[in-house]
Amino acid sequence: CSIKIDWIPLFSLLFLLLLPLPSWLYSLHNCTIDSTDSRTINCNDHKLSRIPSDIPKTAVILNVSHNNINFIQQSYFSGLTELQILDLSNNQISHIEDASFSHLSSLTVLSLIGNKLMELTDHMFTGLSNLTVLNLTENQITFVSEFVFVPLTKLLQLRLRDNRLSSISDIVKVVSFCPLLKFLDLSNNPLSSIESDDSLLLPCSNLTELHLLGNDLKDLAPSSLQMLTRLSMLNLGANSLTELFVQKTSILNLDDCFGKTLPNLLVLDAADNNIEELQRGVFSNMTCLKDLELQTKSVTEMLVYQETFVGLTDLRTLSMSPIFIFDPPSAGVGPRSSSRGRSQLQQVFNLPLLQTLRITVSKDVCVDLTKDLFKGLDDLKVLSWRGCFWNADSKMFHHLPRVFNMEIRRYYVWIPVPELFQPLTVLQTLDLSENHLKSMDFLSEANLTQLQTLIIKTNDMSVINERVFEALPSLRYLDLSDNPFVCNCSNADFIDWVIRNRQVYVNGAYQYRCASLPSEQGALLLEFDYRWCWESVGFFCFICSSALVLLTLLLSFLHHFLRLHLLYGFYLLRAFLYHRQQRGRGCAEIYDAFVSYNVHDEEWVYRELLPELEGRQGWKLCLHHRDFEPGKAIMENIVDAIYSSRKTLCVISHQYLLSEWCSREIQMARCCSHTVSLVIGEVHLTHKRIKMWSRTYLSWSGARGHRGLFWERVRHALQSGAQLPDDPLPTDD
């Protein structure tokens, strides 16, 4: 096999090698030059213990983060006059030599995040006259010397988050040399108080954002912030505040309220404090405030007044803990009066522009809800409730026609009524996680036609009725993670729906697990073979339809071949029923006897039988040729004749036994009436049929010499109700 040489790349390589290259390309040992911008030098992650000496003088961005540098020397940055961004984060720097940055007159951003600085000394930042951002987050700074920030006349942002500063007045003195400072982050320091000194924060009057999150502030008078007239963001979260402002005189003196001192505040974050009470008018005149965060887990209830939220005319977002209303709102009663009247939650929010309301209830509390709680929130779009509640009124959401995003986590067993959700006609997202819901059937009547996202994570649903989704025509996203599904045929339709439907994305469906039986533990819901659930149903249908077909075949067979027998059976049955009925009624018989005979024996009947029985003995007989009603079905005539006669006389001959009709007559008569059999002519009396039909009979041929006796016995038989005794006459065989 031959080696093919691709000449074009080879030529390009040669061409490149012959080009004159900038000398610095070869001089960088531990750093790389950014491929898109040759003035960006990356020395990060090289285990460097010093700043490399071969950094090009043209560098604008220098990244020396994530190395092992612990000491900054004066010589390191000499000549880097064009450097604008210097990243020294995540090193071990504990000491910076005086005037180390003095050559970096163009530097605007200096990051010293995650180092081991313990103090900021004078001359440390000498020469950084163009610096706008100084990031000292995550150091161990306890001491800041007075003139350290003097050179930083253009500083806009100072981040001192996660340090060990304890005195805010020291910081303020230092910061006073940065007249343009807008952003000051002092979060997560052990600052314990802000002195109520009017002039304290005067040097910071250009500040727009002040972060004091996670300090140890116990009280904060708005007056101490009154110099911060441009403040738009105040973060006081996770401190130890018990009240939002200290009220020293009358409750109606509103001078000391946030509205007066911080009129431009847009965001006030006082979450995770210990605020138990929000006084009347505390927010009055805060006409700009858009976002107010007051939720906390450390207090069980927050006392508010009807007038607490007055003045927040532009508020869009409010996060709170459960609130209790102080009633009555009379002027004479101070908030600290011993008889704290407190009523159920009722209308307290008069915030017509509020868009988002989040309520967080602390773990060991349960709150009573009334239907008017959300009154006055006409424009609310997002509602989040986390925590226990009692007595949720089914009309509670009637005041929230515009809510399109709702989250309710009760954490305890909850059985919502469908009516609760019916007013939410524009709801698009519903999160009902952590409610111990056993079923989501209530959603099928909840009228949520706009719902697109449904999250019911971490509940107790084992069987999902997939027909619920028919009531949610707009649904696109569903999350049912962390429910104890059973993997049996009860979920077959749901599994099939999850796999087949193309409209709804079911998040994590392939990770849903079975939780019903210990043997199923760990099995995946969608791996359950649900088809046999339907196969057994199919098999059942197969059996049913086969049985039906067979029955039809059988019936048509019977109809075709045994029609007469069936008809006869039918009459027999009818006769039997008729007989019982007649006997029950005790109907009068018209005839003494019905004479059943074959046409061949008609002559004998007319010559011998009629003259004797009708003429001499005077019986009234029914003969089918003479007495049958014309036009009636013959079978019906027979039945009627038998039943309107006391007895049936069967004239049995050879022909009679051959005739079908006659044999039926005799059978019917036997079944229903007393039968007297007269045997004439040559008949084999062992004949099976006659044996069967009539055990006793009178023989004409056998009584040839004793006609008088024969007729006497017939009269006797017709008279008596009893059957004939066994034939005493001799037989043919």
Ligand X SMILES: *[C@@H]1O[C@H](CO)[C@@H](O)[C@H](O)[C@H]1NC(C)=O
Question: In this structure, what token pair is assigned to residue 132?
Answer: 């706008």
30, 75, 552, 686: residue in contact with ligand X (rule CB under 6 A): 30
Question: In this structure, what token pair is assigned to residue 125?
Answer: 């930042």
Shortest approach of ligand X to residue 50 CB, angstroms? 7
Q: How far is the CA of 157 from the CAs of 60, 144, 227, in angstroms?
A: 20, 17, 18
Helix 563-585 to helix 660-672 angle (10° resolution) is 30
According to DSSP, the residues that pair with 623 across neighbouring strands are 595
Given the complex with ligand X, which of 40 and 74 has the nearer CB atom? 40
Under the binding rule (CB under 6 A), the answer on residue 189 touching ligand X is no
Helix 634-643 to helix 563-585 angle (10° resolution) is 30
Check: CB of residue 153 under 8 Å from CB of residue 130.
no
What element of type H or E holds 541?
helix 531-561
Cα separation, 601 vs 605, in Å, equals: 6
Shortest approach of ligand X to residue 134 CB, angstroms? 9
Alpha-helical regions (H) of 270-378: none
3-state class (DSSP) for residue 478:
strand
Measure the CA dihedral 503/506/510/514, to 10°. Answer: -120
Q: Residues touching ligand X: how many (CB under 6 A)? A: 40
Which of 22, 57, 66 is CA-nearest to residue 39? 57
DSSP letter (8 states) at residue 606: I
Shortest approach of ligand X to residue 222 CB, angstroms? 13
Sign of CA dihedral 339, 343, 349, 350: negative
Cα separation, 302 vs 323, in Å, equals: 5
Residue indicated by tokens 């040669």: 14
CA 535 from centroid of its chain's CA atoms? 28
Shortest approach of ligand X to residue 127 CB, angstroms? 8
Site for ligand X in 428-467 (CB under 6 A): 447, 449
Binding mask 37-66 for ligand X (x = CB under 6 A): -------xx-x----x-x--------x-xx
- Contact segment (CB under 6 A) with ligand X among 199-207, 335-343, 518-526, 606-614 equals 199-207
Cα separation, 648 vs 718, in Å, equals: 9
Cα separation, 476 vs 503, in Å, equals: 6
Under the binding rule (CB under 6 A), the answer on residue 135 touching ligand X is yes
Binding mask 285-324 for ligand X (x = CB under 6 A): x-------------------------x-------------
Under the binding rule (CB under 6 A), the answer on residue 387 touching ligand X is no
- Contact segment (CB under 6 A) with ligand X among 126-134, 376-384, 556-564, 640-648 equals 126-134
Check: CB of residue 535 under 8 Å from CB of residue 489.
no
Binding mask 502-541 for ligand X (x = CB under 6 A): --------------x-------------------------
Which of 75, 114, 79, 82 is CA-nearest to residue 96? 75
113, 514, 575, 672: residue in contact with ligand X (rule CB under 6 A): 113
425, 465, 474, 617: residue in contact with ligand X (rule CB under 6 A): 425
304, 486, 605, 678: residue in contact with ligand X (rule CB under 6 A): 486
Under the binding rule (CB under 6 A), the answer on residue 473 touching ligand X is no
- Contact segment (CB under 6 A) with ligand X among 200-208, 243-251, 366-374, 658-666 equals 200-208
Site for ligand X in 144-173 (CB under 6 A): 159
How many Å is the Cα radius of gyration of the chain? 54
Given the complex with ligand X, which of 255 and 682 has the nearer CB atom? 255
22, 179, 401, 569: residue in contact with ligand X (rule CB under 6 A): 179
Given the complex with ligand X, which of 111 and 261 has the nearer CB atom? 111
Q: Within 13 Å and on the Cβ side, how many CA atoms surround 598?
A: 19
Shortest approach of ligand X to residue 225 CB, angstroms? 15
Given the complex with ligand X, which of 532 and 542 has the nearer CB atom? 532
Q: How far is the CA of 564 from the CAs of 560, 659, 663, in angstroms?
A: 9, 14, 14
Given the complex with ligand X, which of 113 and 152 has the nearer CB atom? 113
Q: Is 467 left (phi over 0), alpha (psi -120 to 50) or beta?
A: alpha
Given the complex with ligand X, which of 106 and 465 has the nearer CB atom? 106
Question: In this structure, what token pair is assigned to residue 342?
Answer: 């407190």
Shortest approach of ligand X to residue 303 CB, angstroms? 20
167, 317, 422, 659: residue in contact with ligand X (rule CB under 6 A): 422
Contacts for 562 with CB less than 8 Å, ≥ 6 apart:
none
Under the binding rule (CB under 6 A), the answer on residue 205 touching ligand X is yes
Given the complex with ligand X, which of 313 and 731 has the nearer CB atom? 313
Shortest approach of ligand X to residue 642 CB, angstroms? 59
Q: How far is the CA of 509 from the CAs of 135, 455, 513, 636, 647, in angstroms?
A: 45, 13, 9, 73, 84
Given the complex with ligand X, which of 208 and 598 has the nearer CB atom? 208
67, 215, 284, 653: residue in contact with ligand X (rule CB under 6 A): 284
Binding mask 325-364 for ligand X (x = CB under 6 A): ----------------------------------------
Check: CB of residue 83 under 8 Å from CB of residue 104.
yes
370, 439, 490, 501: residue in contact with ligand X (rule CB under 6 A): 490
Under the binding rule (CB under 6 A), the answer on residue 29 touching ligand X is yes
Q: How many residues does the chain have?
A: 733
Given the complex with ligand X, which of 180 and 543 has the nearer CB atom? 180
Shortest approach of ligand X to residue 14 CB, angstroms? 30
Given the complex with ligand X, which of 270 and 492 has the nearer CB atom? 492
Given the complex with ligand X, which of 106 and 429 has the nearer CB atom? 106
Residue with nearest beta carbon to ligand X? 179
Under the binding rule (CB under 6 A), the answer on residue 106 touching ligand X is yes
3-state class (DSSP) for residue 390:
strand
Shortest approach of ligand X to residue 203 CB, angstroms? 6
Contacts for 710 with CB less than 8 Å, ≥ 6 apart:
698, 700, 703
Site for ligand X in 645-684 (CB under 6 A): none
Shortest approach of ligand X to residue 373 CB, angstroms? 22
Check: CB of residue 282 under 8 Å from CB of residue 305.
no
Given the complex with ligand X, which of 488 and 655 has the nearer CB atom? 488
Given the complex with ligand X, which of 387 and 423 has the nearer CB atom? 423
Which of 474, 431, 436 is CA-nearest to residue 454? 431
* Letter string b/e over residues 259-278, b meaning 16 or more CB atoms within 10 A of that residue's CB: bebbeebbbbbbbbbebbbb
Query: Footprint of ligand X on this chain (CB under 6 A)?
Result: 29-30, 44-45, 47, 52, 54, 63, 65-66, 85, 87, 105-106, 111, 113, 129-130, 133, 135, 137, 159, 179-180, 203, 205-206, 281, 284-285, 311, 422, 425, 447, 449, 486, 488-490, 516
